[in-house]
Amino acid sequence: MKVCWQGAKLLVMILLVACNQPVGDQAGVANPNRSSGSAEVPGSQSGDRGSRILITFLGDSLSAGLGVNEDEAFPMVVEGRLRDLGWNVEVVNAGISGDTTAGGVSRLSWILRQGPQVVVIELGANDGLRGMSVQMTEANLRQVISGAKEAGARVLLVGMKIPPNYGSEYAQHFEGIFPSLADELAVPLVPFLLEGVAAEPALNQADGIHPNAAGHLRVAETVMPYLESILRDLEVSRPSPGS
């Protein structure tokens, strides 16, 4: 499905201004995560988390919840809903506004030191909006996905689209990065994070791109089935007590 966003040029300019913040290692150190608990993840030093499953969202302003309260960002909404369903999970929101896939590469080792069982990769939107090379974006995402898998984490890749004013060829190539990598590296894919949210005024902030609180609820609904599937698979693959 192609996305047709009204006023796309203006919205992109607004987003680029809003996301013009330091990214990469320096930003990651200043605000390494936003989780429901403390910045230090319990049990991450010893690697013994019992039955609790640590889910880390490695993302940009969409994951970080730019413009909404911390607990309204969709990763934290997902945590609450999964817990309501009986899953013993903890979510670390490692979203940083303005981050790119290159920033994700630079932050990956820090993310993996926490020992997440699941890593949700929500990066690439800023690459596309800045007109960065599709090949470079793809290579960076491949490195992040492969690194997380090699560390033993399950990966959920989140697909993105960009407004068509960048040219249909570039937009199509950009959109194609995500399903191509999902097939190549055998990871599940959320086809489009903002499905049902993009271009819906009632679900977005004044910039027309970042979801409001209601929009984050919709995004959480989009992501939930994929995470539940991963959690069920993890549950089946875990050794039984005493084995």
Query: Any catalytic annotation for residue 207?
Result: yes
DSSP 101-119: HHHHHHHHHHHHHT--SEE
- CA 207 to chain centroid: 20
Out of 146, 173, 180, 207, the active site residue is: 207
**Do the Cβ atoms of 6 and 199 come closer than 8 Å?**
yes
User: Catalytic site residue 180?
Assistant: no
Concerning whether 99 is annotated as a catalytic residue, the answer is: no
Residues 6 or more apart in contact with residue 15 via CB below 8 angstroms: 129, 207, 209, 210
What CA–CA distance (Å, rounded) separates 138 from 128?
11
| Residue 140 neighbours by CB distance under 10 Å | 23
d(CA 124, CA 140): 9
- Taking the CA atoms of residue 178, residue 89, residue 229 and residue 73 in that order, the dihedral angle to the nearest 10 degrees is -50
Backbone angles phi, psi at 239, to 5 degrees: -65, 145
> How many helices, marked H, and strands, marked E, lie in the chain?
9, 6
Which one from 35, 60, 127, 210 is the annotated catalytic residue? 210
Contact 204, 197 (CB under 8 A): yes
Choosing from 35, 60, 61, 63, the catalytic residue is 61
The tally of CA atoms less than 13 A away on the side-chain side of residue 87 is 23
**Catalytic residues, which ones?**
61, 207, 210
